Amino acid sequence: MKVVLVTDIFGLCESIDCLSNHLTHLDVDLEVIDPYEGMRHSFINEQDAYDAFVKQCGHDKYLSLVSESISVVKPELIIGFSAGASAVWRVSSLDSGDCRQAICFYPTQIRNHLDIKPQIPTKVVFPCTERAFNVENVSKHISTYELVNTEITSFQHGFMNKCSAAYDLAGEAYGLKLIEVHITS
């Protein structure tokens, strides 16, 4: 199965390396998209990573990178995290060729794109809370869309990334299991 993995604002990091290795063991043909186009960074904290993301890429440019990659790679599954999940949400409404499904882990910018209606089955995994919006309201709104399935977890935003202050081992295990189910089903 061809899979595109779209990173969060930290880009290539230990958590992405671990996830990539995990997916490779599942016989996945994997492409990783990050906002820094392959350049690794050692961010001090999330604010440092966010500042770099805004300066070096931004949400619209990231959307373009994801859209271009999907048109070339033609994945069957797209998985995104945070800013990457927001980009995946936005491309889910486009004609994505061979793509059969998407998973969006904690897409904060989704609040600005509630009019988007995915054309492929899309699973949106929310954290228990977000500073920028009411998770329950957004989840209820988008879950009315035909191809959207939402879930509000008990974890905080960033639970899958060891670089995040909200990293949670149980949350990471939950996310890995969810990804495995989508790959093997």
User: Where do we find the tokens 């995290």?
Assistant: 81
Q: How many domains does the chain have?
A: 1
Question: For position 140, what pLDDT does the model report?
Answer: 98
Dihedrals phi, psi of 16, to nearest 5 degrees: -70, -40
Range of the domain at 141: 2-184
Is the confidence at residue 98, as pLDDT, over 90?
no
Query: How many Å apart are CA 97 and CA 50, to the nearest integer?
Result: 31
CATH number, domain of 53, equals: 3.40.50.1820
Question: For position 17, what pLDDT does the model report?
Answer: 95
The Cβ of residue 56 has, within 10 Å, a number of other Cβ atoms equal to 14
pTM of the model: 0.96
Q: Which of 142, 6, 155, 12 is nearest to 83 (CA)?
A: 6
Average pLDDT for 104-133: 96
Element holding 101 (H helix, E strand) = strand 101-105
CB 132 within 8 A of CB 108: yes
- Token pair in block for residue 93: 């409404």
Model confidence over 83-97: pLDDT tens digits?
Answer: 999 999 999 988 666
